[in-house]
């Protein structure tokens, strides 16, 4: 029996929230959805997962003293990644820190950090001129701020296709074939930066790609189009293909970094997070690493002079 899928209107009624809020949750990657034609649907299992993740902790008995622990909520914005999800979960449990993620894409995450609207940005932005990741953007934006850039992992990016690669997709020129349907990532996503850079280098006109204008907000959402037979190929990370039992054709390896912006209010919490990321405890907690290299995990690739004493 096929699992029930809900419309955004039905989800809004179930959660007693507005339909606009449902679409925002989908847009930010906090609620996974798929499309049938132009209609958005959310599976029952995904609703259960979301409810479990947002469930409030059980109330303690009234006779028990409730400790008051002052804590700052750390805001993380940027690209969605499975290692980032794992880091947030582990850090929350181990360090007793509250981390609020917002998966809105690398560029927008970095801009939120620049505007002081978050504390950490998760990014993988390829500069098409230098072919260097992340630092060219950081050097342009952050001049006087206290900034530290820490390597999380290197990731494999490539074509995600159905099992057995039935359309025989091998390179970027295959995306322009009339029998190939593509699903893209949104503008501002690091994956979109890499894709567009590759298309430019091969002299490929994006308008020749069926589905280039169809956008999804995270790797799993894009890959789900392939698993459901609604598209033939997307460009994304190997771990998303593995999660859905799809085939993967590697194209490039990219650097995925976390950018920390220190303030008087957050520096103690951020320093704890950095030390935890560099610890053996965190490294040993990583088990499912297909498509990732963590040989440089915890490496500081850039920091301003203001941060050096803080992180020693």
Kind of pairing, strands 292-293 and 147-161? antiparallel
Note whether 14 and 7 are within 8 A (CB).
no
Cite the beta strand spans of the chain per DSSP E: 5-6, 34-36, 39-43, 73-78, 98-103, 120-123, 147-161, 182-185, 215-216, 233-237, 247-261, 292-293, 300-303
Position 308 scores a pLDDT of 62
Burial class of residue 176 in the structure, from the number of CB atoms within 10 Å of its CB (0-12 exposed, 13-18 middle, 19+ buried) = middle
Mean pLDDT of 259-281: 97
* % of the chain beyond a pLDDT of 90: 70
Position 34 scores a pLDDT of 76
Query: Which residue ranges does the chain devote to CATH 1.10.10?
Result: 5-53
Position 68 scores a pLDDT of 39
CATH architecture of 5-53: Orthogonal Bundle (1.10)
* % of the chain beyond a pLDDT of 70: 87
Per-residue model confidence as pLDDT tens digits over 151-169:
999 999 999 999 999 999 9
**pLDDT band for position 217 (50/70/90)?**
confident
Question: Is 90 exceeded by the pLDDT of residue 23?
Answer: no
Mean pLDDT of 191-197: 96
Position 55 scores a pLDDT of 56
* Region of 91 on the Ramachandran plot (φ > 0 left; ψ -120 to 50 alpha; else beta): alpha
CATH architecture of 157-253: 3-Layer(aba) Sandwich (3.40)
Query: Which residue ranges does the chain devote to CATH 3.40.190.10?
Result: 73-151+256-308, 157-253
Per-residue model confidence as pLDDT tens digits over 56-89:
444 444 444 444 344 568 999 999 999 999 999 9
Taking each helix axis from N to C end, the angle separating 267-277 and 82-95, rounded to the nearest 10 degrees, works out to 110
Position 67 scores a pLDDT of 43
Please name the fold of domain 73-151+256-308.
Answer: D-Maltodextrin-Binding Protein; domain 2 (3.40.190)
Query: 133 to each of 30, 82, 153, 193, 299, how far by Cα in Å?
Result: 26, 19, 12, 11, 15
Please state the pTM of the whole predicted model: 0.78
Give Cβ neighbours of residue 250 (< 8 Å, ≥ 6 apart).
Answer: 156, 157, 158, 238
């Amino acid at each position: 029996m096929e699992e029930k899928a809900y419309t955004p209107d039905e989800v809004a009624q179930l959660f007693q929230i507005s339909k606009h809020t449902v679409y925002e949750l989908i847009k930010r990657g906090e609620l996974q959805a798929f499309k049938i034609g132009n209609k958005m649907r959310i599976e029952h299992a995904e609703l259960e997962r979301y409810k479990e993740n947002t469930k409030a902790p059980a109330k303690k008995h009234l006779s028990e003293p409730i400790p008051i622990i002052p804590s700052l909520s750390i805001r993380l914005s940027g690209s969605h990644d499975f290692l980032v999800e794992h880091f947030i979960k582990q850090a929350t449990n181990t360090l007793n820190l509250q981390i609020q993620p917002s998966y809105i894409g690398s560029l927008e995450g970095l801009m939120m950090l620049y505007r002081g609207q978050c504390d950490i940005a998760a990014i993988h932005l390829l500069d098409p001129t230098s072919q260097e990741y992340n630092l060219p953007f950081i050097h342009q934006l952050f001049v006087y701020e206290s900034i530290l850039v820490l390597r999380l992992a290197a990731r494999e990016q490539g074509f995600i296709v159905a099992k057995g690669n039935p359309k025989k997709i091998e390179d970027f020129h295959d995306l322009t074939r009339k029998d190939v349907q593509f699903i893209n990532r949104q503008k501002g996503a690091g994956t979109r930066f890499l894709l567009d850079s590759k298309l430019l280098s091969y002299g490929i006109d994006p308008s020749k790609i069926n589905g280039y204008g169809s956008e999804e907000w995270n790797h799993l959402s894009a890959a789900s189009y392939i698993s459901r037979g609604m598209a033939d190929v997307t460009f994304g990370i190997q771990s998303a293909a593995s999660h859905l039992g799809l085939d993967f054709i590697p194209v490039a390896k990219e650097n995925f970094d976390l950018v920390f912006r220190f303030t008087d209010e957050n520096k103690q919490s951020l320093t704890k997070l950095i030390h935890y990321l560099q610890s053996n405890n965190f490294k040993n907690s990583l088990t499912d690493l297909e498509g990732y290299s963590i040989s440089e995990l915890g490496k500081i690739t850039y920091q301003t002079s203001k941060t050096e004493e803080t992180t020693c």
